Amino acid sequence: MKIAVIGLGGTGSAALRFLAQSGHNAVGYEQFHIGHEHGSSHGESRIIRYTYPDVLYTQMMSDSYKLWFDLEKEAEEELFIRCGGLYFGDKNDRDVLATEQALIASNLPYERLNAEQVKEKHPAFHLYPHEIALFQKDSGFLRATRCVEANIRLAKTYGAIVQENTKVQEVYTKDNKTFVRSNSCEEEYDRVIVTAGPWMSSLFKSLDLPLVTTRQQIVYLNINDHNEYFQANGTFPVWIDSTDNLYGFPNDGQITGIKLAYHHCGEIISDLDAERAPVDESYIEEIRGYAKKRFPNLGSDVTYSQTCVYTNTPNADFIIDRVPNQSNVFLVSGCSGHGFKFTVLLGKIISMMATDDNGYQRDLSRFKISNFL
């Protein structure tokens, strides 16, 4: 089949690779260059983890991990840094307790640690006596930009065509035929997959999808002393503070210092084409204040900062489905700030849907568009 993929970030690049590998005539459209920094699939690090307070996501991560390992093998490149992960918060935090139950239900190994045990194993961290942590050894981080680039490189070797700097303006169906109109041409396709991230709503205005795009901010702070405490060798795992809603990484080997960010949604982006402001000084001060109490050996100097975009659904669930009234058009959207670790799986799922392959066995009914309209 002749199949278009619109938007070549994490999910789109994976879908293009799977389609081309399966022998389809796959054409990918990207309005910017591959690996651009305007969306949600760039940077040196994105957390990968089993630890979710929702057992379905934990189970789906079992499928994702296998596909990431496959990609690394095919690409002959290290894309996943396994350094373990801490998921912590107040001992009565609902999400921490639910995450522990999801790990148990999925038969995944983990350690439950108190504040003293965390300090002993991971000396950079300071937890309070009322807090607990779940350590899961398989957590780590993905080198996001390199993952996208590896998918595209492999897709091309399998015969895919990639059209960079090509903005799709419309996907429409007429007389049971499906067309993609871009700023360079109009082309008919048997099937179309749309993974356009924050630009999804502009392509499907009539659907009125409840997607909210927000500006997110990340900050790297310098390491003041005990540099060895912050390395990705198991000493400093990736981490999520469930109660205060922050997350972070060890030193990634590319940018000086360590990366921290709030997970809560930032300000709403009203114009995706407008130049984005740099990271707010007030946000940096919040990060410094948190770091001072949580990581005593961390400094306060900003070594790097950046913004990105979340595309949020009301309940943070993904949307994975066929488009209503366009039976040959499929979409993935609403990754809500926690989707990159799933992108290789989402690309696989949507490529299967678009080619009438019903082989994926998990129940994805909660991700149907009808749940969001």
The reported pLDDT for the residue numbered 266 is: 94
Q: Which residues make Cβ contacts (< 8 Å) with residue 257, sequence separation at least 6?
A: 220, 221, 222, 223, 251, 299, 301, 303, 304
Torsion of CA 111, 116, 121, 127, to 10 degrees: 90
Same domain, 156 and 246: no
Report yes or no on 241 lying in a domain.
yes
Answer whether residue 292 shows pLDDT above 90. Answer: yes
CATH of the domain at 356: 3.50.50.60
Among the candidates 291, 312, 333, a domain finishes at 312
Tokens of 195: 């993974």
Reading the block at residue 71, the tokens are: 């990609």
Asked whether residue 296 is domain-assigned, the answer is yes
Q: Are strands 161-163 and 85-90 parallel, antiparallel or unpaired?
A: unpaired
| 60 belongs to a structural domain | no
Find out whether 310 and 40 touch, Cβ atoms under 8 Å. Answer: yes
In a domain, 332, yes or no: yes
Q: Of 272, 293, 312, which marks where a domain is finished?
A: 312
Within-domain flag for 56: no
Q: Is the pLDDT of residue 275 over 90?
A: no
Q: What's the confidence (pLDDT) of residue 264?
A: 87
Taking a C-beta distance cutoff of 8 angstroms, is the pair 85, 141 a contact? no
pLDDT in tens, 216-265: 999 999 999 999 999 999 999 999 999 999 999 999 999 999 999 999 88
Do 224 and 361 lie in a common domain? no
* Co-location of 216 and 113 in the same domain: yes
Check the CA dihedral 335-339-345-347 and report its sign. positive
Check residue 223 and give its pLDDT.
98
How far apart CA 218 and CA 245 sit, in angstroms, is 13
- Name the nearest CA neighbour of 342 among 33, 43, 6, 50: 50
Q: pLDDT by residue (tens digit) across 305-362?
A: 999 999 999 999 999 999 999 999 999 999 999 999 999 999 999 999 999 999 999 9
Residues 122-175: tens digit of each pLDDT: 999 999 999 999 999 999 999 999 999 999 999 999 999 999 999 999 999 999
Over residues 55-82, mean pLDDT:
98
Give the model's pLDDT for residue 124: 98
Task: Based on the fold, state whether residues 29 and 152 are members of the same structural domain.
Answer: yes
pLDDT at position 252, please? 95
Q: Specify whether 119 is located in the same domain as 149.
A: no
Asked if residue 199 is part of any domain, the answer here is yes
Domain that holds residue 256: 70-139+212-312
Do 286 and 325 fall within a single domain?
no
Tell me the percentage of the chain whose pLDDT exceeds 90. 98
pLDDT value, residue 360: 95
Q: What is the residue-averaged pLDDT of the chain?
A: 97
Give CA torsion, residues 121, 46, 339, 71, to 10 deg: -100
Does residue 58 lie in a domain region? no
Tell whether 25 and 105 lie within a shared domain: no
Identify the three-state secondary structure at position 79: coil
Q: Which tokens belong to 25?
A: 């005539």
Residue 198: pLDDT band (50, 70, 90) is very high
302 and 231 together in one domain: yes
CB 244 within 8 Å of CB 286 = no
Residues 218 and 353 occupy one common structural domain: no
Return the structure tokens found at 129: 């006596």
Q: Which CATH number do you get for residue 275?
A: 3.30.9.10
Whether residue 308 sits in one domain with residue 239: yes
Residue 266 resides in a domain: yes
Same structural domain, 220 and 365: no
**Residue 332: closest CA among 369, 359, 358:** 369
For the chain, the domain total comes to 2
Contact 54, 104 (CB under 8 A): no
pLDDT the model gives residue 30: 98
Q: Which of 312, 339, 357 is the last residue of a domain?
A: 312
What order of strands is seen across the sheet that includes strand 80-82? Answer: 46-48, 140-142, 80-82
Residue (of 250, 255, 242, 282) closest to 266 by Cα position: 282
Asked if 216 and 204 sit in the same domain, the reply is no
